[in-house]
């Protein structure tokens, strides 16, 4: 659903507060309750690592933003992800509230922000694993620029996105605006986020976040 209306002149302050909340919330969320199967869920070098960005590779032009409609399903054919999407808010600590571990195959959409296909950056989160095995976004770090993401929406349309960036952000120098802010004004964008790096068993947390960025390049009306 769209963000609640606010008085004129408060946009910059509101935006700053939202990014600060998401920065803290996603850091807290990354402290997974799972024991963690160990190892690395994504490559990382330095503070921010670009994953598989082919130099000079052409990408399709952006499509005009669509009318709003909540997401119901997200599909990334290249990495075998096909999952239901549910709206989620923030928990009591200000963290983006992902789907519970009891439903590891479900993706959470931050319903206080943009709807996928509308102008702005829509945010989706999912677990990388649970105590018993891989979860919905276990293979997310294998996504590459140029890959297609399809989001089926409540009105029956499918918003078609193209991945333009895959990065791994370490927690020590996480930049929320760079990770979650729109890259281009007026464009419909999508962010898919999960835990990455390595699992620190002592801290019960992953060392990084995988952030897949995409932008709207088409629409399938189903007609």
Q: What are the extents of the domains in the chain?
A: 11-220
Per-residue confidence (pLDDT) for residue 61, from 0 to 100: 96
Position with higher pLDDT, 49 vs 202: 202
Mean pLDDT of the chain: 78
Position with higher pLDDT, 13 vs 35: 35
CA 222 vs CA 65, 176, 219: distances in Å: 17, 35, 9
Q: Considering only CA atoms, which of 213, 147, 142, 140 is closest in space to residue 180?
A: 213
Q: Residues 56-84: what's their mean pLDDT?
A: 94
CA 214 vs CA 8, 76, 163: distances in Å: 30, 11, 4
Compute the distance between CA of residue 46 and CA of residue 148 in angstroms, rounded to an integer: 28
Compute the distance between CA of residue 70 and CA of residue 83 in angstroms, rounded to an integer: 15
Q: Residues 148-160: what's their mean pLDDT?
A: 98
Three-state SS string across the chain, please?
CCCCCCCCCCHHHHHHHHHHHHHHHHHHHCCCCCCCCCCECCCCCCCEEECCCCCCCCCCCCCCCCCCCCEEEEEEHHHCEEEEEEEECECCCCCECCCCCCCCCCEEEECCCCCCCCCEEEEEECCCEECCEECCCCCHHHCCCCCEEEEEECCCCEEEEEEEEEEEEECCCCCHHHHHCCCCCCCEEEEEEEEEEEEECCCCEEEEEEEEEEEEEEEECCC
Position with higher pLDDT, 69 vs 15: 69
Q: Residues 60-76: what's their mean pLDDT?
A: 97
In words, the CATH class of domain 11-220 is: mainly beta
Q: Residues 77-94: what's their mean pLDDT?
A: 89
Check whether 206 has a pLDDT greater than 50.
yes
pLDDT in tens, 20-67: 445 445 444 444 444 444 444 443 333 444 555 555 668 999 999 999
Check whether 10 has a pLDDT greater than 60.
no
pLDDT band at 164 (very low <50, low <70, confident <90, very high): very high
Per-residue confidence (pLDDT) for residue 186, from 0 to 100: 94
Per-residue confidence (pLDDT) for residue 57, from 0 to 100: 66
Q: Residues 139-164: what's their mean pLDDT?
A: 97
CA 122 to chain centre: 8
pLDDT in tens, 178-198: 777 899 999 999 999 998 888
Query: Do 106 and 82 form a contact (C-beta atoms < 8 A)?
Result: no
pLDDT band at 170 (very low <50, low <70, confident <90, very high): confident
Per-residue confidence (pLDDT) for residue 176, from 0 to 100: 76
Per-residue confidence (pLDDT) for residue 47, from 0 to 100: 43
CA 101 to chain centre: 18
């Amino acid at each position: 659903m769209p963000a609640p209306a606010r008085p004129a002149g408060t946009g910059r302050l509101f935006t700053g507060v939202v990014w600060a909340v998401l920065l803290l919330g996603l850091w807290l969320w990354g402290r997974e309750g799972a024991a963690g199967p160990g190892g690395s869920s994504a490559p990382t070098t330095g503070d921010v690592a670009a994953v598989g960005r082919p130099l000079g590779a052409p990408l399709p032009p952006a499509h005009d933003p669509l009318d709003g409609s909540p997401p119901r399903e997200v599909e990334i054919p290249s990495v075998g992800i096909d999952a239901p999407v549910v709206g989620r808010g923030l928990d009591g600590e200000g963290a983006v509230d992902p789907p519970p571990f009891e439903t590891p195959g479900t993706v959470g959409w931050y319903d206080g922000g943009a709807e996928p296909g509308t102008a702005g950056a829509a945010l989706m989160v999912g677990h990388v694993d649970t105590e018993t095995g891989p979860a919905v976004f276990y293979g997310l770090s294998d996504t590459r620029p140029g890959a297609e993401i399809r989001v089926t929406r409540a009105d029956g349309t499918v918003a078609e996105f193209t991945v333009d960036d895959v990065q791994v952000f370490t927690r020590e120098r996480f930049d929320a605006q760079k990770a979650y802010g729109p890259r281009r004004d007026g464009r419909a964008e999508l962010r898919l986020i999960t835990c990455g790096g390595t699992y620190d068993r002592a801290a019960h947390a992953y060392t990084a976040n995988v952030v897949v960025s995409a932008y709207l390049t088409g629409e399938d009306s189903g007609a």
